[in-house]
Amino acid sequence: MHQKLRQHIEAIVPLTDEEFAFVASHFSHQKAKKREFLIQEGQKVNHVFFVVSGLLKLTYRDEMANDAIVSFAMEDWWESDYQAFYNKTNASLSLQCLEPTEVYSITLEDYKKLCAGLHKMEHFFLEKANRGHIASQQRIISFLTLSARERYEQLLKRYPSLLQRVPKSLIASYLGVSRETLSRLYN
């Protein structure tokens, strides 16, 4: 049952069976239905999620009640409202399932216990955080330097399967363009 989690971690740090048993004891497993929220704006954020299967969207809602896609999370990705999770504040983002989804989750308390009890996991989480920061910076730079068409082509190149799984309206939101503009880019 934990095989995907183990493979994911061991792509960065090797684990003995005993070490993995310790790791697995800190995670909870859950399944969620399409449209179900794992995090809702305004609520406490108690978990970081590792996606085993399915697809999630992380959104920000502005004062005009418009949702903007901050990110998508598919298999082997981690997602949460990290600011709210680490600062123990209410969520400013929402995390919703776009497909039936299976995740492993970890609380901040269990995260700290895991890292203190197995330093390999500190290295693992640092590596994942660094990769996440790099991806976030690349996304910001793309908004600053690329045209809508170039951002779309970059998305196609980096995540080709995403376009098969996500409605065009959500892709448009992620790219920061209207649905109509995306239609022009798509053709």
Whether the per-residue pLDDT at 21 is higher than 90: the answer is: yes
Output the average pLDDT for the chain. Answer: 94
Q: What is the pLDDT of residues 37-72, one digit of tens each?
A: 999 999 999 999 999 999 999 999 988 888 899 999
Q: What per-residue confidence (pLDDT) applies to 183?
A: 82
Whether the per-residue pLDDT at 185 is higher than 80: the answer is: no
Contacts of 105 (CB under 8 A, 6+ apart): 27, 28, 30, 47, 48, 49, 50
Whether the per-residue pLDDT at 1 is higher than 70: the answer is: no
> Percentage of the chain with pLDDT > 70?
98
- Least confident among 93-107, 110-124, 154-168: 154-168
Q: What per-residue confidence (pLDDT) applies to 52?
A: 97
Whether the per-residue pLDDT at 184 is higher than 70: the answer is: yes
Mean pLDDT value of segment 67-93: 95
Q: What per-residue confidence (pLDDT) applies to 186?
A: 67
Q: Return the CATH fold of 3-145.
A: Jelly Rolls (2.60.120)
pTM: 0.92
- The span from the first CA to the last CA of the chain, in angstroms, equals 42
Q: What per-residue confidence (pLDDT) applies to 42?
A: 96
Please calculate the CA angle 180-185-187 and round it to the nearest 5 degrees: 100
Whether the per-residue pLDDT at 93 is higher than 90: the answer is: yes
Whether the per-residue pLDDT at 77 is higher than 90: the answer is: yes
CA gap 155, 175 in Å, rounded: 9
Strands ordered across the beta sheet of 56-61: 37-39, 93-97, 56-61, 67-73
Q: At what angle do helices 179-186 and 168-175 cross, to 10 degrees?
A: 100
Q: What per-residue confidence (pLDDT) applies to 9?
A: 98
CA gap 182, 67 in Å, rounded: 17
Whether the per-residue pLDDT at 112 is higher than 80: the answer is: yes
